[in-house]
Chain A
Amino acid sequence: MNTFIEWLSQPWPWYVAGPMIGLTVPALLIIGNKSFGISSSLRHVCAICIPAGIPFFNYNWKKETWNLIFVLGILIGGFVATTFISDPNEIVIAADTQQELAALGITDFSGLMPADIFSWENVFTAKGLLFFVFGGFLVGFGTRYAGGCTSGHAIMGISALQWPSLVATIFFMLGGFLMTHVIMEPLMKLVGF
């Protein structure tokens, strides 16, 4: 049993994780005739909590409760994996990326997330404003504007051979490349890295 847990605790390679994620597509279709997508959960939260008479949030969200249950499951899954089968070793990061990030002022490479950015101490600072508030806002606004995120477009949409999803995915990547290679450095300097 212990060796099994140890075996599970190693980081899982892409060729295990990718197909498992891909299988979520037929699993949801077969168990409930549902299309895979996650960013829609954010819309349902708006529709439930703050619809404010906006037509975009006026729909039968009760029918989409499953989506909120699914993301609650993802949260619990994060807890389970971290509590019971977490990798005791430090994360291995590509040397080039580590150097480039060090040049930007990232010093802690021990966890899954850089402690220099993602800590409660940063919430009410310019760093927090950039990475949590501004970044999160772009994720929520952009995914809804695009009508889906990595799961709804890149995985579900392309799996169903829908070309608009391929267009969306190409622009996800372009936005990410531009932020990473051009905008991030000046922004990080601005917030005090």
Chain B
Amino acid sequence: MKVAEKEIEEFVCDAPNAQDKSERGLALLKYLILGVLFGIVFVKAEIISWFRIQEMFRMTSFHMYGVIGSAIVTGIISIQLIKRFGIKSVAGELITIPTKVFKKGQIYGGFIFGLGWALTGACPGPLFAQIGSGFTVIIITLLAAIAGTWVYGKFADRLPN
């Protein structure tokens, strides 16, 4: 086990940056390129389609189950290989995967997100790809999602968790 499962010092979000070396300017370009590739896959596999999400929840197509399922299998194999061979990051650091702590929020929040997912036909990633694809009205959905995030932050300590 070469993977340090340390807590990220400041906070744990779903996508923390565990790299010690700071990155500025052009060093950030690689994330842009990766994002572009990712966005292309979202559109070409029609994951951004409201209809595909409806098919998923109506269980009339295997497509989305296949996408998410095979993504998870690929992810599991990749992380196991990284652990097994002690692969380091490009900057030479030990690869860190923060431990997710169980909270009631995963139940309540997860359920609330699910309700929204079926309505908007999008989780946060596809929202960005939809806007890029020319469905500019989704800017409103994105702003509402930012507002929802803010309201959660405002009342976070008063919600059961």
Q: Contacts A82-B43, A141-B148, A176-B114 given: A156-B120 contact, CB under 8 Å?
A: no
What residues on B are CB-neighbors of A55 within 8 Å?
157
The answer to whether the Cβ of A1 comes within 8 Å of any Cβ in the partner chain is: no
Cα A82 to Cα B81 in complex, Å, equals 35
Q: Is the CB of A81 within 8 A of B133?
A: yes
Q: Is the CB of B132 within 8 A of A158?
A: no
What residues on A are CB-neighbors of B159 within 8 Å?
145
Q: Is the CB of A81 within 8 A of B140?
A: no
The minimal Cβ–Cβ distance linking B132 to chain A, given in whole angstroms, is 3
Closest to B98 in A: A35
Q: Is the CB of A32 within 8 A of B23?
A: yes
Number of residue pairs spanning A and B whose beta carbons lie under 8 angstroms apart: 556
What residues on A are CB-neighbors of B137 within 8 Å?
118-120, 122-123, 132
Q: Which B residues contact A (CB, under 8 angstroms)?
A: 10-19, 22-23, 28-51, 53-58, 60-76, 78-79, 81-82, 87, 89-91, 93, 95-103, 105-125, 127-138, 140-154, 156-157, 159, 161
Apart from A12-B44, A112-B49, A168-B109: 15 A-B pairs, beta carbons within 8 A: A22-B70, A59-B10, A63-B10, A70-B31, A71-B35, A71-B124, A76-B39, A77-B36, A78-B40, A142-B110, A144-B153, A145-B110, A145-B159, A153-B100, A154-B68
Q: Which A residues contact B (CB, under 8 angstroms)?
A: 8, 11-43, 45-46, 50, 52, 54-57, 59-60, 63-67, 69-82, 85-87, 91, 93-97, 100-101, 109, 112-114, 117-120, 122-123, 128, 130-165, 167-181, 183-184
